[in-house]
């Protein structure tokens, strides 16, 4: 599916969708419990994949009036009757690998072509350390994965610079093992706020876990049980970043983004990043409302070590700002749905941006860029599609984006929200 965005102005109010990261963890935590009502979840292609995995392990799920009613498997997942298809959701595959390692038998996990190219080797090795067996069918650490359990728990060492989701998977599963799990990090942890999200969800479900000097630890023999049997998902700052960027670049008056209450999400950093670039922005945290106006932006240097999902948004902001924007600590951003460093460099260049790519950083020279509408490829990546749509708001002429349907992964109503703000969008 294609989306065409024409240079236009935006104004008004939009709501950030619920957090994808929190929804994944809440659904799986409800599965580890006897069950729970997950309120205000993000219902998207990715989170549906996690819900299907809960079903496969012997639970059940049903959507009711915008909520998700989950019947859990009580910390003891069944051996699935069939292969678990994680579709395009790397979060699902990594988090569910831990659950699969608890089942007394063999679980096979696969996904689409993009997901089958993403690395899982350190997590597979960790399952082996904890008493199970896990392997890649092709011997390259990539899906399809075969996982044999049950694990008993114990200590394992993994690198922290590939994916924080490995840590999340082991902590969530480790809470219901006999011995608990201690994860020692052999390299600096990238995307650490995502583990903070995990600790936040575990705490809400009554599970104790802790950060240690060199890693994390979760005691075993625990029970998942949320207060009053339910959990409410906060708004998503990764998705809100596109609406805020649209306001900073193309607002006619103000753009107000609702549903942005404080949480453990590292991507809330977009508010400070926009302020540092010179945007007129105000976050009323208690109300969950962020107001942003079109502003003259200046380039900045930003590390995305902890906020990899913001790279596409920052790159677009940099292309429309004066001066140079340098996005550093970005090597791990290459292991997402696509290599987002190269993909953003290539697609923005096709729109007239001056972009320089390095192994671990992306440099965008806004002062040397003159954005023009072009035919661009979203590369099957929801975040590229949304970022390029924002770029289209300030590019001369029309920008046509291939693969627009992939916004269903995290922000199914994205183009409706953009249209509601007054953007010239045709899908």
Residue 425 structure tokens: 């969008």
Residue 63, helix vs strand vs coil = strand
340 is in an annotated binding site: yes
Query: Has 190 been labeled as part of a binding site?
Result: no
How many residues are listed for the chain in this entry? Answer: 427
Distance, in Å, from the CA atom of 73 to the CA atom of 96, rounded to the nearest integer, reads 13
Whether 309 is catalytic is: yes
Residue 25 marked in a binding site: yes
Nearest Cα to Cα of residue 99 among 72, 118, 121: 72
Distances (CA, A) of 287 to 256, 258, 282, 284: 12, 8, 12, 6
Q: Name 265's Cβ contacts closer than 8 Å, sequence gap at least 6.
A: 19, 21, 22, 193, 197, 234, 236, 237, 238
The answer to the question of whether 336 is labelled as a binding residue is yes
Separation CA 241–CA 137 (nearest Å) = 38
CB 288 within 8 A of CB 234: no
Rounded CA separation 304/309 (Å)? 8
Distance CA 116, CA 139 (A): 12
The torsion angles phi and psi of 208, rounded to 5 degrees, stand at: -90, 130
Question: Is residue 138 part of an annotated ligand binding site?
Answer: no
Q: Is 112 within any annotated ligand binding site?
A: no
157 is in an annotated binding site: no
329: left (phi over 0), alpha (psi -120 to 50) or beta: left
From residue 203, how far is each of 30, 36, 106, 253 by CA, in Å?
13, 14, 30, 41
Is 21 labelled a binding residue? yes
90 labeled part of a ligand binding site: yes
Strand pairing class (289-293; 324-328): unpaired
Chain center to CA of 292: 23
Query: Which is the catalytic residue, given 46, 309, 329, 408?
Result: 309
Q: Is 163 known to sit in a ligand binding site?
A: yes
Binding-site residues from annotation for 3-phosphoshikimate = 20-21, 25, 163-165, 191, 309, 336
Residues serving a catalytic function are 309
Binding-site residues from annotation = 20-21, 25, 90, 118, 163-165, 191, 309, 336, 340, 383
Binding-site residues from annotation for phosphoenolpyruvate = 20, 90, 118, 165, 340, 383
């Amino acid at each position: 599916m294609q989306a065409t965005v024409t240079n236009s102005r935006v104004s008004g109010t939009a709501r950030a969708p619920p957090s994808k990261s929190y929804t994944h963890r809440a659904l799986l935590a409800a599965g580890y419990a006897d069950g729970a009502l997950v309120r205000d979840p993000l219902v998207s292609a990715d989170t549906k994949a996690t819900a299907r995995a809960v079903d496969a392990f012997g639970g059940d799920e049903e959507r009711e009036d915008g909520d998700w009613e989950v019947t859990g498997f009580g910390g003891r997942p069944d051996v699935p009757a069939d292969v678990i298809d994680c579709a395009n959701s790397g979060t699902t595959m990594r988090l569910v690998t831990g659950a699969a390692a608890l089942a007394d038998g063999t679980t096979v996990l696969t996904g689409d072509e993009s997901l089958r190219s993403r690395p899982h080797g350190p997590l597979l090795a960790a399952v082996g350390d904890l008493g199970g067996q896990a392997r890649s069918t092709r011997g390259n650490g990539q899906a399809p994965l075969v996982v044999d359990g049950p694990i008993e728990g114990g200590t394992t060492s993994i690198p922290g610079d590939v994916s924080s989701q490995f840590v999340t998977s082991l902590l969530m599963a480790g809470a219901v093992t006999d011995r608990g799990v201690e994860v020692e990090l052999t390299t600096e942890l990238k995307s650490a706020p995502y583990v903070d999200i995990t600790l936040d969800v575990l705490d809400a479900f009554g599970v104790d876990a802790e950060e240690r000097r060199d890693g994390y630890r979760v005691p075993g023999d625990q029970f998942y049980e949320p207060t009053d049997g339910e959990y409410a998902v906060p708004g998503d700052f990764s998705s809100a970043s596109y609406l805020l960027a649209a306001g900073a670049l193309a607002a006619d008056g103000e753009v107000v983004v609702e549903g942005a209450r404080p949480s453990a999400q590292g991507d809330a950093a977009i508010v400070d990043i926009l302020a540092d670039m010179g945007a007129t922005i105000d976050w009323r945290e208690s109300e969950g409302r962020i107001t942003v106006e079109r502003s003259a932006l200046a380039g900045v240097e930003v590390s995305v070590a902890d906020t990899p999902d913001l790279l596409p948004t920052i790159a677009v902001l940099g292309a429309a700002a004066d001066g140079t924007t340098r996005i550093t600590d970005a090597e791990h951003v290459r292991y997402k749905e696509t290599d987002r460093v190269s993909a953003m460099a290539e697609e923005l260049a096709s729109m007239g941006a001056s972009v320089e790519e390095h192994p671990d950083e992306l440099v965008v020279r806004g002062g040397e860029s003159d954005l023009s509408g072009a035919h661009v490829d979203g590369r099957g990546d929801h975040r590229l599609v949304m970022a390029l749509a924002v770029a289209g708001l300030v590019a001369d002429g029309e920008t046509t984006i291939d693969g627009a349907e992939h916004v269903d992964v995290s922000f199914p109503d994205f183009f409706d929200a953009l249209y509601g703000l007054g953007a010239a969008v045709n899908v």
